[in-house]
Structure 1
Amino acid sequence: MNLFEEMGLPGPLVKKLALMGITEPTPIQTHAIPFALDGEDVMGLAQTGTGKTAAFGLPLLAKLMEEPGKPAPKAVRSLILAPTRELAGQIRDTLLPLVKDTPIKVALVVGGASIGAQIKRMQMGTDVLVATPGRLLDLLDRRALSLSDTRFLVLDEADQMLDLGFIHALRKIAGLLPSTRQTMLFSATMPKQMEEIAGSYLTHPKRVQVSPPGKAADKVTQGVHFIAKAAKGDLLVELLDKHREELALVFARTKHGSDKLARKLEQAGYAVAAIHGNKSQGQRERALRAFRDGEVRVLVATDVAARGLDIPDVKHVYNFDLPNVPENYVHRIGRTARAGRDGAAVAFCAPDEMGELKDIQKVMKMTIPVLSGRAWEELPDPKAAPSGRGGPRRGRGGAKGGGGQGQAHGHGAGQPDQAQGRPRRRRRGGGGGGARKQAA
């Protein structure tokens, strides 16, 4: 008898896990599954890549196996909400092998795909519906499905749903669910607002935490280059040249920036693709498939992909632009060193990103090792009273042009694009006009 059997999972599920080569539960699974099987609400906190999907998926399927019968037309017996299309698809793909040769049906509804086909798919009802909040509300508005029979609710990566502004959608969806239900909430970080969400959705939950919020995977080697914005592209090409045969994921802040960077890398001879919110679902799936299969060696992405990518062979993560939500850094670098492998995460920090770096290190509770250059002086708040000095100050990271030392050399660049959230800080010493902001 293995540990999955000792937890009380049904034999057919245990056998399927064994056929998949899974015989030992991860820590989050070990702690969460017994509570979930007992019918308790669960709040699970664990870093990315630790098996959270199976931690809620296995007990959910076990519960459904105990309840015979088919779902009524348009009915949803259990609902799993995820913030992005990629993560929703990943959850669906994880569950499908576990329900093979069983009557349990798993359906996926996300934006960017034909809503007509999804409406037709839901006519017969489903046992498990994996959905993004926006598309789910679209289908509810069209009376294409009903949540009145939903007995189980899972909120996966709930902190990112808050980051992406889904709080009102979540409240609306929760109001359509039966009050008698089992709810599981899983997340990699625990921002203050999450406590409020947990209090609203969970009833006396069992809290399971196997690693501190904000902690990166143990096998990720981190480092930062202090470098002028204009020099980032050349440094990225230089670093990528050292491992052309290995998969690398590059994070940019905006859609426009992702496409521009992908074109530069393509001109440098790389097999590259970009994914972001302006890409159709089909384009995103094709890009991810090519990346997973090794046809594309470099994938440029916005944070829309930070939670949904589960590709064990990703060896390198580059934070070309630092995220303005520090917790997103944790999720970005969690795309490497998965399934026990090693990985490297490299950040590029321009003068106007020192505030972001400081916030990231505070969340991580560590100082990220410096690979080149020297730390820039953090830029003053533009809303603060003027200092009275007669001109803009230069950063400490390098010479007159604003670059760092070593590989972090280069000249100053224009003001970067703005992203969602708080306004970007201005850089010292002139600068061109910023591009229009684009959501990821």
Structure 2
Amino acid sequence: MDFTGLAPILGEALAERGYETPTEVQGAVLQEEALGRDLIVSAQTGSGKTVAFGLAMADLLLQDNMTVFGTAPAALVIAPTRELALQVSKELEWLYAKAGTRIATCVGGMDASRERRVLQRGAQIVVGTPGRLRDHLERGALNLAELKAVVLDEADEMLDMGFREDLEEILDATPETRRTLLFSATMPKPIVSLAKRYQRDALRISTVGEQRGHGDIVYQAMTVSPSDVDAAVVNLLRFHEAETAMLFCATRDNVRRLHATLQERGFAVVALSGEHSQNERNQALQALRDKRARVCVATDVAARGIDLPSLRLVVHVEIPRDAETLQHRSGRTGRAGKKGTAVIVVPYPRRRRVEAMLRGARIEAEWIEAPTPAAIRQQDRERLLAGLLAPVEFDDEDRELATRLMAEKSPEDIAAALVHAHRAAMPQPEELIENTPEARKTAQKERHRPGFEDIMWFKLDIGRRQNADARWILPLLCRRGHITRDEVGAIRIAASETYVQVPKAIAGRFAETVARTGAASGGQEGDDVSIVQSDEAPREQARENCRAGGGRRDNAGPGGSGGFGGGGQRDNPRPYGGNGGKGRFAKGGKKPWGDASGKPPGAKPHRKGPPKRKPQTD
């Protein structure tokens, strides 16, 4: 299939940009059955869908090979993020440049008054983010009375980001005769509901296919020791030496920490998370495009809508929460026919969860070992030889300096010095724990804190169902048992109970004290929690629950948590991570302690969060 049948002026623009044949999604929207109809299009990120919807609405914008000018916009494109909106605007500009189409871009972080002036002068296509478009609509600057087509680009992401109300207000202000083109990588129920409300007899087009994994992305899953996550990421970056790499973390705290770690190791790295201003985001993205930085550490939300043509490697440093997140993260690479690699870093205990996620996503991933220093050095040798043997033009100054060097040293010494300089400029690879059962057991023993070689387990009668949290349990143990934070080992939270480690040397005194403080309850919160000695260690399932939920404190030092996954601040903070961001005590959400009042018996009422901590007295 080719681009025959299009307006000649669009065909010329496509030819100048090197388009010979349409991509699958572009060909689908140009089929005769799709002309003039509402569309629901499932297409992977980077599949050419921006040009696709630009071509799909061409018949509404052009007449006799030129733009039809009106008093108000004829087409509206809504995108979830500023970066994606700017990217869409640039694509449509070159596509419609020869037709004289005027395009207005309305996004947050830009001068709103300037945008209003552009809208007043007249624009045939308006591209923007939901919040800014809604603002212009309410102020009367955006007139949608003559709108012929509206495009929702990456609609699933817009709903995930909480833009449903903005979208509904904008769509309710458009004429009922408009065409609605809905593009989404996934089709969850909220998208289906939105389509039913605002579309008529929509044609469903899917270019995703049975294999949901992107065809131009190689998926890999890399098993490592939980304590080796950072080191494995370093080795992965060194092994691939990708032109641009993006590392995904779940929380802004972990983005900050990994960014600092990689900077210290000598990587040219930038960070993107919710704590960064728009100006900082612009500077980070420009550094990646200018090749001043090669690595970007980001959260899911902060990376949405980013298009980096040189991105070849995506690393899921923290496991995605679901298959859709895996797909969106990985879709940053493998765009426009270019190849990419997506690697999931999998701590040993989380392998089954990742296997289930990959099965659900219908993605075939290769399970690999983390690159070793020897493998990295071998890659370095191959890259260095390829670089030095590549044809290069030398000027007279280069040859003069080479002659002076040859007079001072032998060719072997000069070559060795060149190799040494090359290696010295690169971060050193890390030694990792071997992926064997014996090595894992040895590593587990080495991670124990001094004084915890001989321990006793104590059991509390609260767990995840009662919203038990290590941040509250730790001071409770100190107050009830008259011990310090350093004398508390691992805290492992199961569904209905919690296990904690106490050194055997103080276990007897601790047991007597918690029994006495519980019996002589003074009305303080937590005094009614049962803390008794346990003859058995927590079950393996309890440990799995803790690793998945971040409630683990496995010998990571006083009050700390080892590695990723432990209670960091999320990019869009949700109080205690519950109830869809509406807060822990939102309507229909779980109450702490599992009762209707939201407080333990005999405790003072509280309205938010875990019970207040009491100061330590020992």
Q: TM-score, normalised by structure 2?
A: 0.60
Q: How well do the aligned residues superpose, as a CA RMSD in angstroms?
A: 3.4
**Structure 2 residue 298 is matched with structure 1 residue 301:** yes
Residue 464 (structure 2) aligned to one of 361, 382, 400: 382
Residue in 1 that maps onto 2:167: 170
Deviation string 1:366-397 (CA, Å, 9 cap, x unpaired) is: 46433245999xxxx92244499744445689
Cα distance in 1 between the residues matched to 2:312 and 2:107 = 29
Residue 102 (structure 2) aligned to one of 92, 97, 105: 105
Alignment of 1:367-406 (within 5 A): 368-372=365-369, 382-383=464-465, 384-386=495-497, 390-393=536-539
Residue in 1 that maps onto 2:2: 3
Residue in 1 that maps onto 2:121: 124
Deviation string 1:11-67 (CA, Å, 9 cap, x unpaired) is: 000011001110100111111123587211111112222111111012324421128
Partner of 1:4, secondary structure, is: coil
Distance 1:356 1:275, change over 3 A: farther
**Structure 2 residue 208 is matched with structure 1 residue 211:** yes
Unaligned runs of 5+ in 2: 370-434, 441-462, 466-494, 500-533, 548-552, 556-560, 579-609, 611-618
Q: CA deviation at 1:418?
A: 5.2
Q: Which has the higher contact order (CA 8 A, sep 6+)?
A: 1
Q: For the pair shown, which has the larger CA radius of gyration, 1 or 2?
A: 2
Deviation string 1:392-415 (CA, Å, 9 cap, x unpaired) is: 445689xxx979xxxxxx966672
Question: Is the 8 Å Cα contact of residues 210 and 362 (structure 2) preserved in structure 1?
Answer: no
Cα distance in 2 between the residues matched to 1:182 and 1:363 = 34
**Structure 2 residue 267 is matched with structure 1 residue 270:** yes
Partner of 2:30, secondary structure, is: helix
Deviation string 1:48-87 (CA, Å, 9 cap, x unpaired) is: 2211111101232442112854342xx3221101111121
Question: Is the 8 Å Cα contact of residues 79 and 150 (structure 1) preserved in structure 2?
Answer: yes
Partner of 1:178, secondary structure, is: coil
Residue in 2 that maps onto 1:190: 187
Q: CA deviation at 1:320?
A: 1.2
Residue 142 (structure 1) aligned to one of 129, 139, 142: 139
Q: CA deviation at 1:302?
A: 1.9
Structure 1 counterpart of 2:187, one-letter code: M
Cα distance in 1 between the residues matched to 2:258 and 2:249 = 8
Cα distance in 2 between the residues matched to 1:304 and 1:35 = 37
Partner of 1:193, secondary structure, is: helix
Alignment of 1:36-185 (within 5 A): 38-66=35-63, 69-72=68-71, 75-185=72-182
Cα distance in 2 between the residues matched to 1:196 and 1:243 = 42
Question: Is the 8 Å Cα contact of residues 35 and 42 (structure 1) preserved in structure 2?
Answer: no
Structure 1 counterpart of 2:464, one-letter code: P
Cα distance in 1 between the residues matched to 2:364 and 2:182 = 30
Partner of 1:40, secondary structure, is: coil
Residue in 1 that maps onto 2:285: 288
Q: Tell me which protein shows more helix as a share of its residues.
A: 2
Partner of 2:177, secondary structure, is: coil
Q: CA deviation at 1:281?
A: 3.2
Cα distance in 1 between the residues matched to 2:130 and 2:211 = 25
Cα distance in 2 between the residues matched to 1:413 and 1:285 = 27
Distance 1:120 1:100, change over 3 A: same
Q: Which moved more, 1:8-17 or 1:337-346?
A: 337-346
Deviation string 1:268-327 (CA, Å, 9 cap, x unpaired) is: 111111223443334323322321232211112222354423333211101112232430
Residue in 1 that maps onto 2:568: 417
Cα distance in 1 between the residues matched to 2:172 and 2:349 = 42
Residue in 1 that maps onto 2:505: none
Q: TM-score, normalised by structure 1?
A: 0.82
**Structure 2 residue 24 is matched with structure 1 residue 27:** yes
- Percent same amino acid among aligned pairs? 34
Residue in 2 that maps onto 1:437: none
Structure 1 counterpart of 2:42, one-letter code: L
Distance 1:353 1:141, change over 3 A: farther
Distance 1:347 1:38, change over 3 A: same
Aligned length: 409
Unaligned runs of 5+ in 1: 404-409, 425-433, 435-440
Cα distance in 2 between the residues matched to 1:81 and 1:36 = 25
Q: CA deviation at 1:141?
A: 2.3
